[in-house]
Structure 1
Amino acid sequence: MNDSEAPAPAEYSYASFYQASPDAQNFNILVNNVRVNNDLFGYSKFYIYQNFTPGTYNFKFSPATTTDPGPSVEKSVSLEKDKVYSIFTIGLRSQTAASGKGQEVLVVEDELEIPATGKAGIRVIHLSPDAPSVDIKTVGTTPNTLFSDVAYKEDTDFMEVNTGNVKLNLVHSETGEVLFTTPNELTLSEKQIYTIIVRGMVTPPANNTNSINIQLYRNYPDR
């Protein structure tokens, strides 16, 4: 190569990881059978986007302890150049795959467009395996419905909303029952992009405290 030539820019795909299975043991993350996590991948753990050379990868989530082995879940995923993905472990270890609520790997392609001035971007992903379809509404005298009738495993498009602090209600789409209210205001900042995760269980089993709630995390900037 001529010394004056600049090297070709690197080509990458990007993937983040989130553990949403509310009755799972801690996992290790294996990418093509190589462990990539330094700490335990436990419930509600989120890892920001990582760079990957485009190609097909096997993502395996393997029990991190031999005292509570549980099942492994895995999925082969084709990661395309310049595309962004979120990879979730979801479902219940106590349920079978045939029920539609067993443990599995869910992959979502993220469309990250920087919001307009004065706006933030937000979406919702429903990962509570025993919950009905839900609405996300603001709390107040005139509540605003941000998202409606979101079913289990469904992800919405990102939408632009006004920046600022907001409290949210998680509402049963059919009955209007409030399933959860954020205890504190959530901050939505200008030109940043967020995901609302509906997680946990409406009826957790004995000795499990992972009741249904919502978690907000920032997709972009991711640091």
Structure 2
Amino acid sequence: MKISMPFKAIIAALTLSLGLLSCSKNSDYTPAEISGLSIIHASPTTEKLNVYVDNAQATIAEFSFGSKVDYLNAYSGSRKFDVAKAGTNTSLKTEQLTLEPQFGYSLFVIDKLENIKFLLLKDDLTKPAAGKARIRFVNLSPDAEALSLAIEGKPTDLFTNKAFKEYSTFETIDAAEKVTFNIKNNTTSAIETALTDVKIEEGKIYTIYAKGLKATADDTKFGAAIFTHK
């Protein structure tokens, strides 16, 4: 769904463009088309990474597993994305991806280092109704079976049967002071991991993602994370 620029950074960018337009003597001046781009490190590796957009670094120096860069201004259109180990100039993955103007996107860096890739998701930032929030679920664990997401105490799962790289739409849930989200094996319904006592705020939009490897016990082990679309 197209949005009316809900993130402050893009509003600022468009305001600047409009200001330049009003001062320009060139009546043919057209403001640049802008998209919002958030970047999440979901590759189960202890390596710090850098992400580049058209050869310009878009991530912070300490972009490690679980890190997230909130919405940046990005020119719309077809853009070249690269990911590399921090401190190196060798691209591990190059991909051409398209950003539509006035949309927000979440760019996940996913899979094991030897198979690293991008997953670009369009973010539906439509404001939730009063007393509500909206949430999406993404399975980004390379060695997990298909997963479901449930809210503890609810009779039915919120999302079901999401294999690696699969994701749900954004769905509406009630705002609450404390919510426990259970990530379950879709076949057996066994709880694989959980996010407990999460505050869900009215009017906010969230993504929960399964991350890490079931086969490891270090910092890249299987778990889950939640973030707010700011």
TM-score by length of 1: 0.84
Question: Is contact 1:200–1:212 with CA below 8 Å preserved after alignment?
Answer: yes
SS state at 2:113 partner? coil
Question: Is contact 1:24–1:70 with CA below 8 Å preserved after alignment?
Answer: no
- 1:209 corresponds in structure 2 to 219
- 2:68 corresponds in structure 1 to 46
Q: Superposition RMSD on alpha carbons, in Å?
A: 2.5
Question: Is contact 2:82–2:91 with CA below 8 Å preserved after alignment?
Answer: no
- Mapped partners of 1:61, 1:36: distance in 2: 10
| Structure 1 unpaired stretches of 5+ | 95-101
- 1:126 corresponds in structure 2 to 139
- Mapped partners of 2:22, 2:194: distance in 1: 62
Question: Is contact 1:25–1:70 with CA below 8 Å preserved after alignment?
Answer: no
- Mapped partners of 1:174, 1:3: distance in 2: 62
- 2:17 corresponds in structure 1 to none
Q: 1:115 to 1:63 in 2, by over 3 A?
A: same
Question: Is contact 1:88–1:105 with CA below 8 Å preserved after alignment?
Answer: yes
Question: Is contact 1:71–1:93 with CA below 8 Å preserved after alignment?
Answer: no
Sequence identity of aligned pairs in percent?
Answer: 28
What stretches of structure 1 move > 4 A for 4+ residues in a row? 1-10
Question: Is contact 1:130–1:202 with CA below 8 Å preserved after alignment?
Answer: yes
- Mapped partners of 2:119, 2:194: distance in 1: 26
- 1:114 corresponds in structure 2 to 127
Question: Is contact 2:46–2:220 with CA below 8 Å preserved after alignment?
Answer: no
TM-score by length of 2: 0.81
Q: 1:71 to 1:128 in 2, by over 3 A?
A: farther
Moved more, 193-202 or 75-84: 75-84
SS state at 1:156 partner? coil
- Mapped partners of 1:70, 1:209: distance in 2: 25
| Structure 2 unpaired stretches of 5+ | 1-20
1:90 to 100, 110, 135: 110
Number of aligned residue pairs: give it: 207
1:147 to 159, 183, 191: 159
Counterparts of residues 1-223 of structure 1 (less than 5 Å): 11-23=33-45, 25-65=47-87, 72-94=92-114, 102-140=115-153, 143-164=155-176, 165-182=178-195, 184-204=196-216, 208-219=218-229, 222=230
